């Protein structure tokens, strides 16, 4: 999934749905770890 992200595009490219707030936060933390050097913004919404 992360390999398919085009860092030149400004629109949303991936949406991940999680059944609980805790899982959504955990997923966001892991995505941040993988993408912090690629300047890919991410957000968690619950």
Tell me what pLDDT residue 7 has.
84
Tell me what pLDDT residue 22 has.
97
3-class secondary structure, 33: helix
Comparing CA positions, the residue from 3, 13, 12 lying closest to residue 35 is: 3
Residue 40 contacts residue 7 (beta carbons within 8 Å): yes
Return d(Cα 21, Cα 29) in angstroms, integer: 12
pTM: 0.77
Segment 9-35 mean pLDDT: 93
Return d(Cα 44, Cα 23) in angstroms, integer: 10
Residue range 25-40, pLDDT digits in tens: 999 999 999 888 888 8
Residue 24 has pLDDT above 90, yes or no: yes
Tell me what pLDDT residue 16 has.
93
């Amino acid at each position: 999934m992360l390999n398919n992200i085009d860092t030149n595009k400004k629109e949303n490219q991936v949406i991940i749905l999680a059944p609980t707030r805790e899982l959504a936060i955990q997923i966001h933390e892991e995505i941040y770890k993988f993408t912090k050097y690629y300047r890919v913004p991410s957000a968690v919404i619950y």
